[in-house]
Amino acid sequence: MLDYILVQALNGLVIGVIYAVIATGLTVIFSILKIVNFAHGEVYMMGGYFAYFVIALLGLPPLLAVLVAMLLSFALSVLFERTLLTPLYSPTTERKGDYGILVTFGISILLRNLAIIVFGPFPLRPPSFFEGSLVVGNFVMSWDRVFAAGAGVVLLVGLLAFLSRSAWGQALNAVSQSRESAAIVGINDRLVYTLAFGLGGGLAGGAGALVGPIYALSPSMGLVPDTQAFVIVVLGGMGSVGGSIIAGLLIGVSEGLFVALFPDPTRSLAYAQAFSLLVLMGVLLVRPTGFFGRVHVAME
Amino acid sequence: MRRLPIAAMAAFAVLAFAYPHLVDAYWRTVGTLAIFYAIVAASWALLVGYAGQFSFGQMGFVSLGAYGSALLVQWLAIPFPIGMVAAVLVCTVVGAGIGFVCLRMRGPYLAIFTMAFSEVLRIVILTENEVTGGAGGLEVAPLFHSRTVFPYYYLALALLAGSLGLMGMMVASRWGLFFRAIRENEQAAAAAGVKVVRFRILVFAIGSGVAGLAGTFYAPFIGILTPDIGSVDQMGEVVAMAVIGGAESLPAAVLGAFFVEALFEALRAYGEWRLVIFGGLLLLTMRFARNGLLALAWEQVLRLGPVLQRARSIGRPAES
Amino acid sequence: MTALIEAVDLTLRFGGIVAVRGLHFAVQERELVGLIGPNGSGKTTTINMLTGHLSPGSGHIMLRGARVEGMSADRFAARGVGRTFQITQLFSRMSVLENMLVPGLARPHSTHVAARRQARLHLEFLGLAALEDLPARSLSGGQQKLLELGRALMLEPSILFLDEPFAGVNPYLRDEIIRLVQALHAEGRTFVIVDHDLEAIQRLVQRLVVMSRGEKIADGTVEAVRGDAEVIRAYSGV
């Protein structure tokens, strides 16, 4: 029994890394554009399909496929940002928060249904990136999961390094704190917004690409991580990258434990999702702005 | 909010009454469905457009009303109207509860919370399939002995008129002013003496109750109820309808629902592409005509007014 | 004599920062009090507490002898406490008249007819009558400030807190605001005015309260306060 719990917890940790990647993408978008991206799950979904087709059509190796999927997701996000989100930066637009919600919600409808048409409504199981499993004593984990967790960690570390060391990363930080001050210092805030939205999308797409062989692809696969990402971001605090990472891991592990410990196995998977949603609602009730985050600031 | 001219409303009412006699059975069903969506869209417009409370939970309340009334009637063998009233009451109370717990939440957090609420409800309904029929669906007894759509249509029309009347009265009264004040600036509204807490809870209660009412109608009308009615995609349809029509006006949201539903059926040949088109229309409307496409069209019509008047006065002798 | 409004030992912390500490401050009926102090001294926080927008961490607020701390802002408004904001907070997409009708109709037993009449009277007094159907956001900055004052007046307030009424205001409008406040004061209303414009404040008020770093450091007539060494120190940032 303990073994089973441990296995579930470790699986949960792997998923937690993926959640953390998705959630940090959402957090980056939130800190800089000050909107909640309701289309985040759909970009994640597109990333999964991008990777699949890149491998199927071009025969690229897995790591490269994931990178290409991330680039394509980045490009897709930039496209949406340039065409639909520019009113957020104009002083004449009213109720920017509502605009952000409705527009990203609209994008999610568009992408999801477009995916149904182009890819078909049925789940698609991409071939494994790496065959076989890692076996350590009693513990077995597919190499795909190990790869996903490892790549996820690399992405997170890379993001943190980017944000703290590179010039663009620091520009992102500056704009997230104060757009006007950043502009005074000479930072081109329009480019930063585009970069932020693209970066968030790239992270989501990367997560989708990594997860494809593990969980299969379907056009509605974005709906679940959508809400999961919200749970995590709210738990970890909108606007705090570190908080999102920690919360992502926590949610992943607790989900794994929930499935392991829930008395009724036929219902456990379905309710696992409801569980995180209830956690989300609970957190929002107690701390309407999340645990580690800064107070919700509207775009200046 | 512009008062609709009485003439237009009367014309609309006549058209609405005559409609089922003018079309075939297929379009009668479509019309009834459109009225159902119109009720939900109007309740969403009240909550979000008018009072500024961003809720994605409307379809959750629709499903709560639908399953609630259907199951109550089934288990307790009570007549449908009682089941309907009970379900609406439950939705109103739960809605008020949500309004209460969300008092400290703003904008996107409220949206996320209500979306989560809808999803949890949907998951529970889906999973507890012994009780609810789950994905296989719940059979709901028809309301009328007649096998046609006519009685359903007129019932829906009555419900629409009733709920629009109720919400319209609220909106036209000082309450409407308070809702808008809360939407514009909650802090200033409080400083002006508006009982913000009371009105936020109230608008949630009413919005949820009306959505639940639509749900109680939907159950016997559709015959087989599935948890999908509470899905995000359904919510998206309603949002698209209200936004395309004009989210800050109840009549505009209703017209938006008719327009989108009609378009949906007219584009039947395009199958899955329809939802893509609606997503696109929603985006276009938000981007270029934030007050709603129909509101934009209405403005253009109003602009024609003075032009028509000038055209009429040419050729008339000037008055001395 | 019971003060109209009184702060007793008010303290409020935000995270680790003490915004207001141990404040004792009483305003009598018909006074015209100025509340000044360098930036960050806690003036706006004090007003927020005295109008119900913030709850004090500890201490009481007495309104005509009754304890009111912790009540919501709308209940303060219902009890005749009006205020304006540092950054004008209007209902931007509603018309000027509607902005006035919101507080007018929020009062119990108010009728549309009476509220409308009252609103138009006030708008006339403020010189905004011609603008009544325009959306509030299309007004100039100065007109918006006046509208906000009008909105507060619709509450029939016995006390009015004005938060930086002279901020960014041209000299003509400043004189206009001073004239309006004096007229309203002559009618019997009590005022507490926060501002940095010391010249305007001194023309208006009888009594000056000075805050620095969350504490009250002076409270007296304009002359007495001007000579106060601690006040001078606070302002020169020592």
pLDDT > 60? residue C9: yes
State residue B309's pLDDT score. 61
Which residue, among A234, A264, A281, would best test binding to B if mutated, counting the most B CBs under 10 Å from its CB?
A: A281
Structure tokens at C46: 């004090």
State residue A135's pLDDT score. 81
**B112·A234 Cβ contact <8 A:** yes
Of C52, C72, C90, the CB nearest to B188: C90
State residue A295's pLDDT score. 44
**Residues recorded for chain B:** 320
Which is more confident, A147 or C232?
A: A147
- Is B318 within a domain? no
**B177·C83 Cβ contact <8 A:** no
What percent of chain C clears pLDDT 70, i.e. is strictly above it? Answer: 98
Distance from CA of C108 to the nearest CA of B (A): 10
pLDDT > 70? residue A240: yes
State residue B314's pLDDT score. 62
Residue ranges with strand state E in B100-142: 138-139
What average pLDDT score do residues A233-248 get?
A: 75
Concatenated DSSP letters of chain A: -HHHHHHHHHHHHHHHHHHHHHHHHHHHHHHHH----TTHHHHHHHHHHHHHHHHHHH---HHHHHHHHHHHHHHHHHHHIIIIIGGGGSTT---HHHHHHHHHHHHHHHHHHHHHHHH-SS-B-PPPSS-SEEEETTEEEEHHHHHHHHHHHHHHHHHHHHHHHSHHHHHHHHHHH-HHHHHHTT--HHHHHHHHHHHHHHHHHHHHHHHHHHH-B-GGGGHHHHHHHHHHHHHH-TT-HHHHHHHHHHHHHHHHHHHHH-S-HHHHHHHHHHHHHHHHHHHHHH-TT-SSPPPP----
The three-class DSSP label of residue C58 is strand
**Among A134-148, C67-81, C160-174, which stretch is predicted with the lowest mean pLDDT?**
A134-148
**B184·C93 Cβ contact <8 A:** yes
Q: What are phi and psi of A95, to 5 degrees?
A: 50, 60
- CA nearest to B121, candidates B73, B58, B69: B58
pLDDT > 60? residue A296: no
How many other C-beta atoms lie within 10 A of the C-beta of residue B315?
6
The tens digit of pLDDT for each residue in A254-271 reads: 878 887 777 777 777 778
Q: What are phi and psi of C59, to 5 degrees?
A: 105, 175
Please say whether the dihedral angle defined by the alpha carbons of residues B8, B215, B196 and B187, taken in this order, is positive or negative.
negative
**Chain C residues 43-62 with a CB less than 8 Å from chain B:** 51-53
Please name the residue of chain B whose CA is at the shortest distance from the CA of residue C154: B192
Structure tokens at B36: 């159902």
**Chain A residues 231-250 with a CB less than 8 Å from chain B:** 234
pLDDT > 80? residue C234: no
Write out chain B residues lying below 8 Å of A285, CB-based: 101
**Among A222-226, B179-183, C59-63, C195-199, which stretch is predicted with the lowest mean pLDDT?**
A222-226
In the complex, which subunits touch C with 3 or more CB pairs below 8 angstroms?
B
How far is residue C47's CA from residue C7's CA, in Å, rounded to a whole number? 10
State residue A66's pLDDT score. 92
State residue A298's pLDDT score. 38
**C101·B197 Cβ contact <8 A:** no
How far is residue C237's CA from residue C197's CA, in Å, rounded to a whole number? 17
State residue B221's pLDDT score. 92
pLDDT-derived band at A67 (thresholds 50, 70, 90) equals very high
- Is B208 within a domain? yes
- CA nearest to B244, candidates B210, B207, B278: B278
User: Which residues of chain B fall below pLDDT 50?
Assistant: 1-2, 319-320
Domain tally, chain B: 1
| Half-sphere exposure of residue C155: CA atoms within 13 angstroms, side-chain side | 29
Which structural domain range is residue B162 located in?
Answer: 6-312
**C91·B197 Cβ contact <8 A:** no
**C91·B188 Cβ contact <8 A:** yes
How far is residue A287's CA from residue A281's CA, in Å, rounded to a whole number? 10
pLDDT-derived band at A30 (thresholds 50, 70, 90) equals confident
CATH of domain A2-286: 1.10.3470
State residue B268's pLDDT score. 84
Distance from CA of B194 to the nearest CA of A (A): 21
Query: What ranges in chain C are assigned the alpha helix state H?
Result: 43-50, 73-78, 96-106, 112-126, 141-153, 171-186, 198-204, 222-227, 229-235
Write out chain C residues lying below 8 Å of B177, CB-based: 94, 98, 101-102, 105
Of B174, B187, B196, the CB nearest to C89: B187
State residue C1's pLDDT score. 63
B199 touches chain C (CB under 8 A): no
The tens digit of pLDDT for each residue in A72-89 reads: 999 999 999 999 998 888
How far is residue A155's CA from residue A189's CA, in Å, rounded to a whole number? 24
- Is B266 within a domain? yes
pLDDT-derived band at A289 (thresholds 50, 70, 90) equals low
- DSSP β-bridge partners for residue C218: C210
State residue B135's pLDDT score. 82
Of A38, A84, A101, the CB nearest to B283: A84
**C106·B185 Cβ contact <8 A:** no
Write out chain C residues lying below 8 Å of B184, CB-based: 90-94
Write out chain A residues lying below 8 Å of B135, CB-based: none
What average pLDDT score do residues C164-185 get?
A: 90
pLDDT > 50? residue A20: yes
How far is residue A73's CA from residue A77's CA, in Å, rounded to a whole number? 6
How many other C-beta atoms lie within 10 A of the C-beta of residue B301?
9
State residue C123's pLDDT score. 93
Concatenated DSSP letters of C69-80: TT--HHHHHHTT
pLDDT > 80? residue C229: no
C98 touches chain B (CB under 8 A): yes
What average pLDDT score do residues C16-33 get?
A: 88
The chain-wide mean pLDDT, for chain A, equals 83
What average pLDDT score do residues C190-206 get?
A: 87
State residue B241's pLDDT score. 93
What average pLDDT score do residues C223-230 get?
A: 78
pLDDT > 60? residue A300: no
Write out chain B residues lying below 8 Å of A251, CB-based: none
Starting at the edge strand found earlier in the chain, the sheet holding C17-27 runs C17-27, C5-14, C58-63, C66-67
State residue B207's pLDDT score. 95
How far is residue B261's CA from residue B267's CA, in Å, rounded to a whole number? 10
Q: What are phi and psi of B176, to 5 degrees?
A: -60, -40
- CA nearest to A155, candidates A215, A223, A209, A77: A209
A33 touches chain B (CB under 8 A): no
Distance from CA of C9 to the nearest CA of B (A): 24
Do residues A35 and A88 touch, judged by C-beta distance below 8 A?
yes
Domain positions in chain A are 2-286
Please name the residue of chain C whose CA is at the shortest distance from the CA of residue B188: C89
Distance from CA of C100 to the nearest CA of B (A): 9
pLDDT > 60? residue A297: no
Its pTM stands at 0.87
State residue A170's pLDDT score. 83
Query: What ipTM score was computed for the predicted complex, to two decimals?
Result: 0.89
pLDDT > 70? residue A294: no
State residue B168's pLDDT score. 92
C138 touches chain B (CB under 8 A): no
Which is more confident, A248 or B308?
A: A248
How far is residue B110's CA from residue B88's CA, in Å, rounded to a whole number? 22
Do residues C85 and C148 touch, judged by C-beta distance below 8 A?
yes
Crossing angle of helices A143-165 and A2-33, rounded to 10°: 30
**Among A87-101, B160-174, C94-108, which stretch is predicted with the lowest mean pLDDT?**
A87-101
What average pLDDT score do residues C65-73 get?
A: 88
How far is residue B241's CA from residue B230's CA, in Å, rounded to a whole number? 16
The chain-wide mean pLDDT, for chain C, equals 88
How far is residue B212's CA from residue A153's CA, in Å, rounded to a whole number? 46
Write out chain C residues lying below 8 Å of B50, CB-based: none
B180 touches chain C (CB under 8 A): yes
- Is B87 within a domain? yes
A221 Cα distance to chain centroid: 12
Which residue, among A269, A284, A295, A299, would best test binding to B if mutated, counting the most B CBs under 10 Å from its CB?
A: A284
State residue B144's pLDDT score. 81
